[in-house]
Amino acid sequence: MLDLSFNYRKFLYLLPLLVFLNGCDSDQPVTKNIQQVGIITIKPESIESTYQLAGRTVASEISQVRPQVNGVVIEQLFKEGTQVTKGQPLYKIDSSLYRDGVDEAVGNLALAKATVNSTRLQAQRYKELIKVNGVSQQELDNARSAYEQAKATVAVNEAVLKTARTNLRYTQVTAPISGRIGRSSITRGALVTSAQTDPLATIQKLDPMYVDLTQSSDEYMALRKQLTENGIKPTELSVRLQLENGTTYAEQGTFKFSDVAVDEATGSVTLRAAFSNPNNALLPGLYVRAELGTGTRPNSILIPQGALFRDAEGNPLVWVVGKNNKAEQRKITLGSAIDNRWLVTSGLSSGDQVIVDGLQGLSAGMTIEPTPMS
């Protein structure tokens, strides 16, 4: 029988050494998994530039109908919700007192004119009598003064008569503008005053219809710069309107003006466009979206909307491939949305590689394996 104890003990001593040598001879190093990402390479392109802005429709003219004299309304002369024309009678106020006022003013004016004639004749007589010492100089001066006062009284009474006739005319309340009139806030028999704050009715001109749009001050300055570079006047901008239900308004609008100041509360600028509204399809107060066509914009940089994310402060960011295939965050400035892409106005340049797929789990400085997306 063979004694194997010695060989077995030597094997136990040599086993760790054999395991170590085997590890050293291996040709496969220990590797760490590298995250694969999909990328696009930025290539500037020419686009038909547009700006998408939100806004609300506003009547091109608004007039609140108010009485200019006191009295009781005895008749309403219009139908609510209809089209009225400038100068059309709307309400009739009891005119009895104002007619009496006109008659009184007419009488006072006639009396004043009679006094003028009397004092004029007396002044003429005194002028002749003073030549033969028939009256004193003081009496002549008094006659002339009475004549001048009588003429002034005539002028005052003419003004009173004019005012009385104006007040009488104001007993018929007319439309100050043409447009669609709303509901009446009073009924026949109501007492109205010239100092009241509540309007009797409101008239709005709906054709053309204005649309007030809001834009951030940064975007507004970028728009002005682009228009200057392209040689486009603001009044040449075309405007399309999208309604709340998603349909596009048939009429094309024109750009009117922009505010001369920035709203301190919101940091935005208001722009106004005008649209023809022949069938009153647009009503005041509608929420709409407008698209401003600003011509061709060369060397534009666009990224998919899915590549964008934001930091805690809301700043827009993208992931890009940095040096040695390291993931890197890049802050960008956005322009308008064009279909399913964002226009980037700063932060990216031609040749940059933007990560658009495999964004989950990325961290700054992570080694990545970029794969171009088709």
Q: Tell me, what CATH number does 137's domain have?
A: 1.10.287.470
- How far, CA to CA in Å, does 39 sit from each of 225, 369, 373? 31, 10, 6
User: Does residue 149 belong to any structural domain of this protein?
Assistant: yes
Residues 77 and 129 in one domain: no
User: Does residue 190 belong to any structural domain of this protein?
Assistant: yes
Say what the pLDDT of residue 73 is: 95
User: Does residue 290 belong to any structural domain of this protein?
Assistant: no
Q: Where are the beta strands (DSSP E) in 77-149?
A: 83-84, 89-93
Residues 107 and 161 in one domain: yes
The residues that bridge with 360 in the sheet, in sequence order, are none
User: Does residue 223 belong to any structural domain of this protein?
Assistant: no
Say what the pLDDT of residue 34 is: 87
Q: Do residues 254 and 235 lie in contact, with contact meaning Cβ atoms separated by under 8 Å?
A: yes
User: Does residue 333 belong to any structural domain of this protein?
Assistant: no
Residues 119 and 77 in one domain: no
User: Does residue 256 belong to any structural domain of this protein?
Assistant: no
User: Does residue 31 belong to any structural domain of this protein?
Assistant: no
Residues 71 and 165 in one domain: no
Question: How many independent structural domains does the chain possess?
Answer: 2
Alpha carbons 190 and 93: distance in angstroms, whole number: 10
Say what the pLDDT of residue 7 is: 53
Residues 181 and 89 in one domain: yes
| Pairing assessment for the beta strands 368-372 and 35-41 based on DSSP bridges | parallel
Check residue 365 and report its DSSP letter: T
Neighbours of 116 (CB within 10 A): 19
Residue 194 sits in a domain of what CATH number?
2.40.50.100
Alpha carbons 360 and 363: distance in angstroms, whole number: 9
Token pair recorded at residue 5: 């104890």
Q: Do residues 41 and 350 lie in contact, with contact meaning Cβ atoms separated by under 8 Å?
A: no
Q: Do residues 213 and 53 lie in contact, with contact meaning Cβ atoms separated by under 8 Å?
A: yes
Residues 166 and 101 in one domain: yes
Say what the pLDDT of residue 126 is: 78
Residues 176 and 160 in one domain: no
The residues that bridge with 291 in the sheet, in sequence order, are 52, 240
Residues 71 and 162 in one domain: no
Residues 186 and 136 in one domain: no
**Which pTM was predicted?**
0.61
Quote the domain boundaries for residue 87. Answer: 67-94+172-198
Q: 13 in helix, strand or coil? A: helix
Residues 109 and 151 in one domain: yes
Which amino acid appears at position 131 of this protein?
Answer: K
Residues 83 and 125 in one domain: no
Q: Which of 371, 206, 364 is nearest to 283 (CA)?
A: 206
Where a domain ends, among 198, 213, 246?
A: 198
- How far, CA to CA in Å, does 110 sit from each of 96, 118, 131, 150, 232? 22, 13, 33, 12, 67
User: Does residue 159 belong to any structural domain of this protein?
Assistant: yes
Say what the pLDDT of residue 1 is: 42
Say what the pLDDT of residue 147 is: 85
Say what the pLDDT of residue 14 is: 53
Q: Do residues 171 and 99 lie in contact, with contact meaning Cβ atoms separated by under 8 Å?
A: no
Say what the pLDDT of residue 237 is: 73
Alpha carbons 79 and 97: distance in angstroms, whole number: 28
Residue matched to tokens 């340049």: 349
Q: What angle do CA 200, 205, 211 make, to 5 degrees?
A: 120
Residues 162 and 189 in one domain: no
Weakly modelled stretches of the chain, pLDDT under 50: 1-2, 4-6, 8, 11-12, 18-21, 24-26, 30-31
